[in-house]
Structure 1
Amino acid sequence: MSDLYKRVITGVIGILLIIFIIYLGLSAIKISIFILTLEAIRELHNAFMKKNIKLYLPTLLIGALATFLFSYYEIKLIYAVILFFIMNSICLIVSINYSIEEYMYTNFSYFYTVFLLNLLGNIDDIYLIIAAFIISFSTDTFAYFIGSMFGKHKLIERVSPNKSVEGAIGGTISAIIITSIYFIMLNRYNSSYFINLYSVIIILAASISGQFGDLFASKIKRYTGIKDYSKLLPGHGGILDRFDSLIFISPFVYLLYFFI
């Protein structure tokens, strides 16, 4: 079975699964995000182990659970961040084998894999959560195809040699158009959804940020010397390979929550 065939099959199954989870409602979405964060922690832990860097899993896992509960019961996530920081700092002080380097990497891993993803779960609007996936998938898909057809100028070759400037621009423009059409269609049924200049600017920023999220994940892979974060998703790699752009998009969709 070719890699492209695996990629397409996994993608189709993944989209159907996402649609089903969204159909089940916000609670299912929040639980699914919690599961994603656990797998993302595992993948990042395994990646850093290649550089002999150990993440402090007790605080990371407790922090992930606490953040999920705060999101589930609609408590501001800043309190979960404070709780994690205090807990992790106390562990650094009392634990003999917990180094400053591991502490810093653990703090980063919490922010990257737990907090940013849970911003989506903290949005009390399924249609905006759908918008995050639309921005992510449309940017990635059109950046790939436009880059394959017209890409001549490398974006950041030392990080990701296959990405082009033309693909990045095409992906962002496509995301703006498709996401705007999505909100225009929603507006026909609910007038609270509309597109204005602020919304377009945020969608633009989200799409660009998502592409940097992809590059950021690639930078970590190059640093740790791995090709994929895991083999969980045939043809795609791991959760961090597939949802790397969504992690960087989530803060902007969270902002969009206040502008639309």
Structure 2
Amino acid sequence: MVKRIITSVVALAVFVGILFLPPICFTVALAAVILFMLYECYSATKADVGMKTIGFISAVILMSSIYFCKAIEWDTFAWATASIGIIFIIALHMITVVAKHGKRNYKDILSNGFLTIYIVLSMSCVWLAKETFDTATMLLTFICAWSCDTFAYFTGRFLGKHKLIPHVSPNKTVEGSVGGVVGAMVICIVYLLIVKNVFDTNMLQWSNVVVEGAVYGLVGGALSQLGDLIASAIKRDTGIKDFGWIFPGHGGFMDRFDSVMFIAPIMYILPMVIFGVM
């Protein structure tokens, strides 16, 4: 537990430090995280060098199209370009199915393509939230996911009695799951109250901070646990304990960002759809 806490504190300090650097630093750091996540997934699925290369090239093309178009304020074109990028990735992997026929299972090749699209698009929503709204709104994704994970861990450790889905993740409990969601709701409410009273952001337009914080915590907390369970299922199917080792006590980038990745799209859309923040 001590190792886990120390790692969290150090990682949080680095994360906060990046936020105070020029905006391009956050963009580059996020792109690096995405590439590391892809590398860990490719390694877990035992992709060969050729498949990894195709995946990385596809990821860079897709990220570049989204970032460039958003940077010059072509929001609609950004998603149109992203769609073209997705079609390109699918076509590239379909061609690889033919080229690798008899050498690689086509299911492995196509799953590689899916992972590339899923990870890049989901994590890009973190950057889009920052560019569309502001840093404070973007941080909600991390705050919700990581607070839920923290509260779920400690609630499950001290109060957990009933297993949640033991065949997928034997250590997760119902009590931990509930504690995680409740904790995320509380932290989101507190965070929004602080932001509302201290910073001048889009979130100052929101009227009922308690309700809004509860909505973010409830939706984000519940979905973040689903993202974590999906990652656990992948690890079980591939026979690994963790995706990586870069974060002692936590694992790799995928282990640390699996829940963030899963809720990033909904946390990006939520202000626009429900609260009308633009």
| Superposed pair shares fold, TM > 0.5 | yes
Q: Are residues 96 and 234 of structure 1, via their aligned partners in 2, closer, same or farther at CA, if it must alter by over 3 Å?
A: same
Are 1:202 and 1:255, in contact at CA under 8 Å, matched by a contact in 2? no
Structure 1 segments unaligned to the other structure (5+ residues) = none
Q: 1:187-202, aligned counterparts within 5 Å?
A: 187-188=196-197, 189-190=199-200, 192-193=202-203, 194=206, 195=209, 197=211, 200-202=214-216
2:254 counterpart of 1:248: no
2:271 alignment counterpart: 257
* Partner Cα separation in structure 1 for residue 49 and residue 271 of structure 2: 36
Distance in 2 (alpha carbons) for counterparts of 1:191 and 1:83:
33
C-alpha deviations, 1:176-214, integer Å up to 9, x for none?
Answer: 111112112211233731337566434311111100111
CA shift in 2, pair 1:81/1:103, >3 Å:
farther
Q: Deviations over 1:13-39 (max 9, x none)?
A: 100010011112542222111101111
2:141 & 2:180 partners in 1: Cα distance? 14
Change (3 A) 1:146 1:90: closer
Please give the TM-score of this superposition, normalised by the length of structure 1: 0.88
* Counterpart contact for 1:151–1:165, Cα < 8 Å: yes
Larger RCO (CA under 8 A, 6+ residues apart): 1
From 190, 213, 219, the equivalent of 1:181 is: 190
1:28 counterpart (4, 25, 28): 25
DSSP-derived class of the 1:162 partner? strand
How many pairs are equivalent?
Answer: 255
Report matched runs for 1:85-234 at 5 Å: 85-93=87-95, 95-97=98-100, 100-123=106-129, 124=131, 125-188=134-197, 189-190=199-200, 192-193=202-203, 194=206, 195=209, 197=211, 200-234=214-248
TM-score (norm 2): 0.83
Identity of aligned residues (%): 31
The one-letter amino acid of 1:84's match is: I
Note the aligned Cα RMSD (angstroms): 2.3
* Aligned-partner Cα distance in 1 for 2:112–2:195: 40
2:99 match: secondary structure: coil
Structure 1 stretches (4+) deviating beyond 4 angstroms? 52-55, 196-199
Q: What is the CA-CA distance between 1:103 and the residue it aligns to?
A: 3.5
The equivalent of 1:7 in structure 2 is 4
What is the alpha-carbon distance in structure 2 between the residues aligned to residue 246 and residue 33 of structure 1?
12
> After alignment, is 37-46 or 75-84 more displaced?
75-84
1:134-154 alpha-carbon deviations (Å, 9 max, x no partner): 101110111111111211111
**Residue ranges of structure 2 left out of the alignment (5+ in a row):** none
Question: Is residue 227–residue 262 contact of structure 2 (8 Å, CA) maintained in 1?
Answer: yes
User: Cα–Cα, structure 1 residues 70 and 255, in superposed 2: closer, same or farther, change >3 Å?
Assistant: same
Which one has a larger percent helix, Structure 1 or Structure 2?
2
CA–CA distance in structure 2, aligned partners of residues 11 and 196 of structure 1: 27
CA contact (8 A) 1:144 1:167 kept: yes
